[in-house]
Amino acid sequence: MLLKVRNLGKTISGPSGRTTILNGINLDLDAGASLALTGESGSGKSTLLHLIAALDGFDAGEIEVAGNRLSRANEGKRAHLRRTIVSVVFQQFNIIPSLNVQDNIALHAGLGSKSDPAWEHHLIDKLGLRDHLHHFPEQLSGGQQQRVAIGRAMAMRPKLLLADEPTGNLDEASAQSVLDLMLDLVKESETALFLVTHSLEIAKRLDHQIQLKGGVLQ
């Protein structure tokens, strides 16, 4: 089992006191498998993904990724996890505007000392970015920017890819193309995929589907 989430709870403080965002979350994901998390806006989907990515802390329960218990991980260990085991693709792309396509793709793997030029060149070709290597993000379409984000995330061959509404900012044609490429790459590299989406049609294309409602899995 690559990912285990047990009795996970998350609350936040506000003017009216503490609010429960996630309550008693339990889920498993095998290595190489894919899981789609659906739910309405505000249901806690992105919060759960951020917790699995070790981008935020939780109040109760446990998350274990490739044998690493996040409740015991300090910030250095969490950063190391994101550089070597877990990659994230965001809805807003989050690629670096001052770097060209080639450097953006190479960045993540380099930080984790997992650079593999042959694999990076394969990704560039697979993602259709060969003619854009020296372009900067502002010179690319939304679909191209998301392909760069996928390439950057996959360059270090993560064991787990987390994708937060990766097609949410794209038109339908670009969204289908980006999703096809992502599913092909995780299958080829035997990477597990945890994908947050509001689209039931997208969710159906993954191995398993779960729904979050009011901070509780249905």
CATH code assigned at 32: 3.40.50.300
Can you give the residue range of the structural domain that contains 145?
3-217
What is the Cα Rg of the chain in Å? 17
CA distances from 79 to 48, 74, 142, 157 (A): 18, 9, 28, 16
pLDDT under 50: residue ranges of the chain: none
174 — alpha (psi -120 to 50), left (phi > 0) or beta?
Answer: alpha
- Report pLDDT for 36: 97
CA distances from 215 to 3, 61, 105, 119 (A): 19, 14, 34, 38
- Report pLDDT for 91: 87
- Report pLDDT for 156: 95
Q: Supply the pTM of this predicted model.
A: 0.94
Three-state secondary structure along 105-172?
A: HHHHHHHCCCCCHHHHHHHHHHCCCHHHCCCCHHHCCHHHHHHHHHHHHHCCCCCEEEEECCCCCCCH
The DSSP element (H or E) to which 1 belongs, if any, is: none
* Domains in the chain, number: 1
- Report pLDDT for 41: 86
